[in-house]
Amino acid sequence: MISFAKKIFNSKKSVLQISLSVFKIAKTIKVLVVYCLLISTQCTANNFDFTPNLQKAYSEIFKLKIHSGRELLAKEAPNNPFKIYLEDYADMVELLNSENQKAYQKFLDKEDERLELIEESEKKSPYNRFLRAEIKLHWALIKIRFGHEIKASYNVIQAYRLLEENQQLFPNFLPNQKSLGCLHVLIGSVPENQKWISNLIGLRGNIQQGLQELQKASKDNIWGLEAKFCTIFIQAYVLKFDSKQNEEMLQLLENQPDNLNISLLLIAISLKDNRTEQAIELLKKSPQDSVYLYFPILELYKAETQLFKENYSQAIASYLTYLRNFKGKTFVKDTYYKLFICHWLLGDEKKGKLYLLKINGAGSIVAESDKAAQKFYENFIKNGVLPNKTLLKLRLLFDAGNFEEGKKELAKLSEKSFLNAVEQAEFNYRAGRIFQKLNQLEKAIGFFKRAITLTEENDWYFAPTSALQLGYIYQKNGDKEKAKRYFEKSLAYKRHEYKTSIDNKARAALTEMGY
């Protein structure tokens, strides 16, 4: 398989890498757990018996009540494929949440064992291929988290082929609409000039096809919740997220107030979409008692809201709680960076630098925020330069959603307020984002173009992100040619810390427009 992969994927961007890069979006806020594909419908074909007890177990595990879900599973026959699937799902949740390397090694053999047990079950049932595909996707996420990306890419391809075959054999089987819809969106995010790679290995699909499949599944009484869940995730992390999608996701939670899975996703999206007050309210309502699996990521969400509200001491407390309770590697570098920021803004530069110096020896650089923290550390060691506090406060105002306050701060500044090119580029980018959010698009366009000009010869992320936003602006205005030009421009930048997420969004936008 490895030699075959080397022959197929000599290009700089293989479809495997593209598929993996889409999966990596979930890792920046640690809600990958909520992206897994579940099983929740009645089946009566021979040994595929989705009993009421198993349906209850599914519901509990989906809500992240893992302990009670496992108790229900223990009452079922060991060879029931639905039990095997749900045990795999529960294991995946715990592995992704804990990042426990010993537990990962312990469960490695479970993938093949479970796949074989299901494959030996009733061959004529549509669940035979479907459940195997779902387990393949579970392990793709797990392998990515533990650094085995090539192996994960094989899982994605194998899952796709199982689902496609199942679709041909059972075209009215709704679960396939949900799972295949997600993969079709991801495959559809590949730009046109790289489609030959996905076609070569048999991966076909497009964004509209995938969204339509998810829409069909969303109307199902049982699968509808999960399909909506997947659609919201895709809108926020692959496509575009607007006020309409925001209302839809709030309604989803209102109908499922005891679902921590949905709550985690919505909090993460709210923070990502500059809706700090909404995130604070969601955190207050989030179910967090002892019946749920404890997620350290909640401490980071709390810390982020406090940072955006300029409550730095409270933010420090939550960041430290995350470090105490989480034994894995994801977001550790970013947390040390944020601890530096909080102490620095409180005026304690000495203590802040102690946390800054911890970045290099901690965590991993899988998540983009961790990559950014590592790059910040390396630049500091090389140049000894700390960030500009004025620009940092502009960024925090934007991240918090305080756009009018940000505009007031911008009125006091100009490009000449900053002494070097990187600060001038960042100023223009920050200004562009604030005016874009205020729908003052002509001003935003000017600032974004200036940020690109100042960044052309460097690997700062202000140029690719500005190009991406210009693409969105021109797309919104109906100017497809300019939108295409700027989306392609954002893809052209080779080295920056947010390349994965920016490239994914640019590719998705291009394919959405038919390029």
Kindly report the CATH number that applies to the domain delimited by 296-386: 1.25.40
Helices (H), 401-513: 403-410, 421-437, 441-455, 462-476, 480-492, 499-512
What is d(CA 492, CA 4) in angstroms, rounded to the nearest whole number?
28
The total of other beta-carbon atoms located within 10 Å of residue 249's CB is 25
CB 62 within 8 A of CB 261: yes
Token pair belonging to 428:
């223009």
User: How far does Cα 286 stand from its chain's mean position?
Assistant: 20
User: Rounded to the nearest 10 degrees, what angle do helices 149-169 and 174-188 cross at?
Assistant: 130
Non-local CB neighbours of 359 within 8 Å, separated by 6+ positions = 333, 336, 337, 373, 374, 376, 377
Look at residue 447 in the predicted model and tell me its pLDDT.
97
Is 352's pLDDT higher than 90? Answer: yes
pLDDT band for 192, please (50, 70, 90 cuts).
Answer: low
Structural element, H or E, at residue 92: helix 81-98
What is d(CA 263, CA 73) in angstroms, rounded to the nearest whole number?
24
pTM of the model: 0.82
What is d(CA 450, CA 2) in angstroms, rounded to the nearest whole number?
45
What is d(CA 218, CA 223) in angstroms, rounded to the nearest whole number?
6
Look at residue 157 in the predicted model and tell me its pLDDT.
92
Look at residue 39 in the predicted model and tell me its pLDDT.
33
Is 388-515 CATH 1.25.40.10? yes
**Phi, psi dihedral angles at 40 (to 5 degrees):** -155, 35
Look at residue 44 in the predicted model and tell me its pLDDT.
40
What is d(CA 115, CA 456) in angstroms, rounded to the nearest whole number?
50
What is d(CA 99, CA 80) in angstroms, rounded to the nearest whole number?
28
pLDDT digit string (tens) for 218-233?
887 777 788 889 999 9
Domains 296-386 and 388-515 share a fold: yes
Q: Which of 223-227, 341-345, 451-455 has the lowest mean pLDDT?
A: 223-227
Look at residue 54 in the predicted model and tell me its pLDDT.
93
CB 392 within 8 A of CB 430: no
Non-local CB neighbours of 2 within 8 Å, separated by 6+ positions = 150
Which contacts (CB < 8 Å, 24+ apart) does range 444-448 have? 444/469, 444/473, 445/470, 445/473, 448/473
What is the torsional sign of CA 101, 105, 106, 108? Answer: positive
Mean pLDDT for 331-338 is 97
Provide, rounded to the nearest whole percent, the portion of the chain with pLDDT above 70. 88
User: How far does Cα 315 stand from its chain's mean position?
Assistant: 23
Look at residue 191 in the predicted model and tell me its pLDDT.
53
Look at residue 38 in the predicted model and tell me its pLDDT.
35
Token pair belonging to 132:
């195997």
Non-local CB neighbours of 381 within 8 Å, separated by 6+ positions = 360
pLDDT digit string (tens) for 39-52?
333 344 457 888 99
pLDDT digit string (tens) for 386-417?
889 999 999 999 999 999 999 999 999 999 99
Is 474's pLDDT higher than 80? Answer: yes
Structural element, H or E, at residue 344: helix 332-345
Domain spans of the chain, in order of start: 2-285, 296-386, 388-515
Provide, rounded to the nearest whole percent, the portion of the chain with pLDDT above 90. 64
What is d(CA 284, CA 253) in angstroms, rounded to the nearest whole number?
13
Token pair belonging to 440:
């003052």
